[in-house]
Structure formats: structure tokens, C-alpha cells
Structure 1
Amino acid sequence: MSLPVNRFVNRPILATIHTDAFRHNLGRIRELAPQSKIWSVIKAKAYGHSLEAAFQGLESTDGFALLDIADAQWLRDHDWAGRILLLEGIFSLAELEFAIKLHCDLVVHNEQQVSWLETFKNHSGNPVNIFLKLNSGMNRLGFRPEQYRTAFHRLHSAGYHLHHMTHFANADQVDGLPSVGEQMECFEKAIEGLQAPSSLANSAAILWHRNALGDWVRPGIMLYGVSPTGVHADIVRSELQAVMHLRSEIIDIQELKKGDHVGYGGCYEAPEDMRIGVIACGYADGYPRHAEDGTPVWVDAADAKGEGVICPTVGRVSMDMLTVDLREAPNAKVGATVELWGNEVPVDDVAQMSGTIGYELICALAQRVPVLIK
């Protein structure tokens, strides 16, 4: 067990990263896509969970996929000898040389990258794997179908090992356009006769479109136990586990009279005499400022059963604190443990009450929050 990154912070807030949950989720992906190899996506410092934790929990993956070449260097410095995929490829000719030295696989999605690769002299003697990206309808990155075959042949002629790749725009929606079926039809037409492995499925496709996986899948959000749709029931049905647990404590309790107001702007008015708990967590810690009244927080109720209860937030979230209605936890005291998200409170539920998605919350965990890798 590692110590928190900053062990001298005296506030009780703590994010615990459970590497056993990483291992469990990776295992579930292998069960869902048994014929595919896995790129574990760890961009944005492993979705806010830290490269250290992801490396510990996902070391049995087939490869890591990321954006920043500095993160690729970190993996090599920590003795990762497996494959690394740069999801946006390289941004300069100088970076290309560095990426080859690090034995990185490259996504190629534009003409400039093809030109750099054609002129590059690979003196390493190591084969370079290219994942050529097709824009099959998402219209973000990739070659349009009429351009794709030319780019493929150019890179093949230059001696690179080619793979086909695309990204689904609406694998998490029933009626989203373009549909997975439409994108697959486009993909299959574009690559017809071009023999190479493929990489297709993101988290949503792994869960709901297992006819569209490819030789390599690219799970991201599901590795962290968060739903691609924002609906926590998807995580329950898929038997995934939350990796990040954000906890803190009640640092004060206020006794309100009916009609008293709470917090900046006095937006919440007590409907009766009641107790509210003040929690050491605010938007400077990464908790969403726009969380609505009623956002769930788990509170150690300190009752005879030794069970916790869900208590709703009241009033505006401030920089360092938020407040909860303790009427369901009459015995809660100063020092009581609370969970902001994790096992008891799904991060997807907090996100829904805040007009955002779970991705944003876990990625936005503030640097000042101590992290325990367990």
C-alpha cells in the first residue's frame, strides 16, 4: 500500500484508487472480447487516477493507449516493455523520431503525418506499427473513405506495418446518427481488399456491439468503473467496479431553524428545524460546483446498525466545502466519514445531478486532493 501523495495535508479529504478494481474490470473486458487484444486507454493521467495506479492495476494489458509522449516515456522508465499507442499520433517530425526510439505504435489521421512518415529514415531496425484512422462518420479525426486507400498504400510502400482503425460516435445510443451499423458498413467498404488487423471498439461498443470489436479493442471509461452512457445501471449489469473512491468527513454541524438559509446566495431555505453537515470538499477539490440540491452523499450514520445512509446536498457548493441535509442521519457527528463518489455513491449519479458526465468528474480531481493507491 502506498502513502498518499501529499501526506501532510491536514484536511480529511482523500481519493483512494483501488488497483484490484482495475484488475477486475480488465478481466471483465477479456470476458466480453475474448478474441481481441486490449489497448487500455490511460490518457489524461489515466482519467485522473494517476499513471502509477493504472500501471499497477493494468499491468496484464496487451498495450497502453495514451496521448502524451511524456507518458510513454514514463512507462518505459518504469520498465513497461509492451506496446504503447499514441492515440493522436505525432505532432512534429522531431516527435516522430522520439516516438520511434520509445517503440510506440502510431495513429495516423492526416496527410501531414503520412508525409512525415514517408520522409523519415528509420535507423532503429524496429518495425513501426501504424493504426491508420478512417473517418467513418464521426467527422473528428481520420481520412475520409475516398482518401483512405491512397494513404494506406503510401504507408505500406514505405515499409510500415498497417492496421485499420475507426471510432464510433454513437455506440452508447440506440438512435444516434451515424449508427454503429452505418459506420461499420463504411469501414468495411473502405478497407475491402486491404489485409491488415483492425481496431474498432471503444467501451460502449465492447458492452453493446460485440459484432464490431476488431482485433484490438480500446476500452477507456469502463476500465475505471464508470458508464459510457452516464447510467450507473450499465455498470451494475456489466459487473464492473468503481476504481476511484472520493471520501472526506463532516467538519461541522449547524442546527437550523425553519426558514434559515444555507450558503452563498441563501438558495436553500430550511423547511423545518434541521441539522446540516459541513463537509470538507468543494469545487477546488474537483466536486462539481453546479451540483443541484439533492445530489447524493453517503454519510456514516453512526447508528446502532453501523450503517451509512444517503443524505442530499443543500445549498451551493463552495470552494472548499459543501453541505448536506442530516435528517436521515440524526446520529451523525463531526468526524463522520462521507463518500462523495465511489462504491456507495456512483460518480455517474453525481454527474447526472450536475449536468455533466462521469468522465469529467474523475478527470477533474484536483491536484490538492491526496491520493492513496491501494
Structure 2
Amino acid sequence: MTRPLVADINLHALRHNFALIQALNPSGSTLAVLKADAYGHGALPAAQALADLAPAFAVASLEEAQALRQQGITHPILLLEGFFSADELPIIAEQGYWLMIHSQWQVEALTAYQAQIQQPTAWTLWIKVDSGMHRLGFAPQHLPSILAKLEKLAPQSMLLASHCARADELDHPLTQQQISCMQELAHQTGLPVSLANSAASLAWPAARFTWQRPGIALYGMSPFTGPQPEADQLQPVMTLRSALIAIQDYPAGSQIGYGGRGVLPEGGRVGVVACGYGDGYPRQAVEGTPVLVNGQRCPLIGRVSMDMLMVNLSHLPQAQVGDQVELWGARLPAQEVARYCDTISYTLLTGLLPRVPRRYLNPAQA
């Protein structure tokens, strides 16, 4: 008998989501963002499931890329933040990783390294432009001088990249401004462009350009707060499941859990679920945060503990120990749970800790 908490990962849904996004830009390409262990889903299983669909992958760091390479992934892998130290460049060159270049110091380090080794290297360089995000990247007016320096390295290919800051806000003008900026730079330089994150890929056709870079949407999470036609077709990839491990009836006025935060003014039934903040379920979840017990919505009561949380079962007299509980997933969107926790679905998925087993449903099994 093992603890009943498990994260079911539906790889068929992952493939569905990738195909949906790629179909929106048939003349362009889509790489799959696998950073943060594929947003908590498992980078290696995700890469293997998408191997015949995605022409390239993207991660945040060399360590994440190396983990995939060492486990047999041979696809091109883009380092979204480039390199953090010049010491990484020999491995990057050897493995053929694609490099995001976002700062002057990286240009200088790359130039110095190339001069030191005195041999050609087939660099694939994605030059980051700050088109409005104001996080990483070169100001558009500085791009000509940066390109002139990088062209001296005789890279195998170069591409302009930027990142949408407010594409999830469908009526905000900044996204169109960013699109226009990148269109103008593409016209000036003749280089291909990558701009679209998940929200832009789904809702802003002009932002799709040559390469899309979806992240959260691959895992079935809509980046929007309301309905959106393409996002509504996404399928959640992760379902976090557990079970009731205890049920108790309490009299009127009973206080439930640490600090007695949960109160039953009229008494009632309380169920204990094997899941807590030690697993990554957010401790800040407020009273009333929903879970599904045998498909029926039940509100959380009291504070989330390290290994357990409690739910009010007063309206479910038929509930019993062993009944299945869905914390988020196929029938209870993580976006909804996140709103009760004053956060976003990204933090729920990436915050799920390693002690929660991942159980993979392969495409052939779906």
C-alpha cells in the first residue's frame, strides 16, 4: 500500500496541444519549451512524446539541456537565457546548442572565445531584442552594431527574438506595438523572427512569425483569464490525484486544523486528503478552494498542512475513506485553483515537488 497522491501526465494531451498550436502557423515552426522540468511534467518524457512533432526544444540553462542530451535527446535545444559564464561555451559548441544572446557581455565573451579557439564554430544565434518587455534584450536602435559584431563570427544562422509582455490582455496595445517593432526589424535585417509565447501563439496571428515558443499552453493551461477560442481547445496534461484517508463527524462550533482557522458553525463531516504543502500544494489556499471528491466539488476547510489538507464533506454523506480526490486537472482546471491561492497555474505546476510520483499515460494508451 502506497500513499495515494500521484500526478497523472497525459502525453496524448501534450501532443494534442502541440499540434493545435503548430496548426495555427502552418508556414512557420514551433519549438517546445521544456524548461523547469517541462513545467513540472517531466522534461525527458515530454521530449520523448514530442520527438516526432517538435523540430526543436527550449530550456532555461545548460544544465537543463545537458540532462536531455545525456538521456538521448538529439534535437536542437535553445538556451533561452544563453550562457551565464564563458566557461559554458566549449560544451555549447560541442553539443550544438542554439544560443539566445541578450547582453553586450555575451557578445564580447563569444567573440573572445572564437578568437581563442581560432576555428569556425557553427553557432546558431537568437539575438534578443527588447521590444517592450524590458527584461532582457538589446534596444532596437543598438541592433545594427550588435549584428555587425556577431556576423564576424560567421554563425551558421541568426534569428531575431523578443518576448510578449501582455499578450494575455487581448485589448492591450503593447502587443501590436511589439509586433510592429519586430516586423520593422525583420524588414531592415532580412532575418527570421521569433516573438510568440503561448498567449501570442493562440490569439495574435501576426505575432507567430517564423518560430513560435509556446510554454504553458503545451501543458493545457490557458494564459487568458476568460474564454478564447483556441485556448479553449487545449487539454490539461497533468491531473493531480489523491484519496480520502480519514473522515470524521464534528459537532457545531468545531475548529478544524492548525490555529483553528476552519470552523463548522453547525457541525459536519470533514475528510482528510493525502496532499499538502510538502508536496507543492499551496499553503496559502483559502477556505473554499475547491477539490473534487468522486467528481463532486467540495471546499477546503482549515489550513493546508505539510502532508494533508481537509475538505468539508457535509453535503456528501455517501463519501467514504478511499474515495478519489482530484486537486486539479482534467475536470478541475489548475487556473481555477490558482485563483483561490492568489497565484497562477504556472506556480502550481512547477511547484509540484519530486516526492509526488508522476504516472505517464503514453499516447498509445489514450
**Count of residue correspondences:** 357
2:161 to 155, 161, 165: 165
Structure 1 counterpart of 2:364: none
1:197-236 equivalences in 2 (<5 Å) = 197-231=192-226, 233-234=227-228
Aligned to 2:31, the other structure's residue is in SS state strand
Q: How far off is 1:342 after superposition?
A: 0.7
Distance 1:14 1:340, change over 3 A: same
Aligned partners of 1:174 and 1:342: how far apart in 2? 25
Residue pair 1:172, 1:229 contacting (<8 A) in 2 also? yes
- Consecutive unaligned residues of structure 1, counting only runs of 5 or more, are 1-8, 301-307
Structure 2 counterpart of 1:118: 111
Aligned partners of 1:116 and 1:238: how far apart in 2? 44
TM-score after normalising by structure 1: 0.91
Identity %: 41
Q: How far off is 1:175 after superposition?
A: 4.5
Aligned partners of 1:212 and 1:236: how far apart in 2? 15
Residue pair 2:186, 2:193 contacting (<8 A) in 1 also? no
Residue pair 1:40, 1:64 contacting (<8 A) in 2 also? yes
Give the stretch that moved more between structures: 185-194 or 50-59: 185-194
Structure 2 counterpart of 1:281: 275
Aligned partners of 2:109 and 2:218: how far apart in 1? 33
Aligned partners of 2:110 and 2:15: how far apart in 1? 36
Structure 2 counterpart of 1:364: 351
Residue pair 2:292, 2:298 contacting (<8 A) in 1 also? yes
1:41 to 33, 42, 45: 33
Q: What do you get for the CA RMSD once the two structures are aligned?
A: 1.8
Q: How far off is 1:261 after superposition?
A: 1.2
Structure 1 counterpart of 2:292: 298
Aligned partners of 2:312 and 2:118: how far apart in 1? 65
Give the partner amino acid of 2:104.
Answer: E
Distance 1:356 1:124, change over 3 A: farther
Aligned partners of 1:162 and 1:324: how far apart in 2? 54
- Consecutive unaligned residues of structure 2, counting only runs of 5 or more, are 362-366
Structure 2 counterpart of 1:313: 300
Aligned partners of 2:301 and 2:277: how far apart in 1? 15
Structure 2 counterpart of 1:193: 188
Distance 1:236 1:85, change over 3 A: closer
Aligned partners of 1:163 and 1:238: how far apart in 2? 31
Distance 1:253 1:324, change over 3 A: same
1:1-374 equivalences in 2 (<5 Å) = 10-59=2-51, 60-121=53-114, 127-160=122-155, 161-176=157-172, 179-231=174-226, 233-234=227-228, 237-300=231-294, 308-374=295-361
Aligned partners of 1:35 and 1:190: how far apart in 2? 20
Residue pair 2:30, 2:54 contacting (<8 A) in 1 also? yes
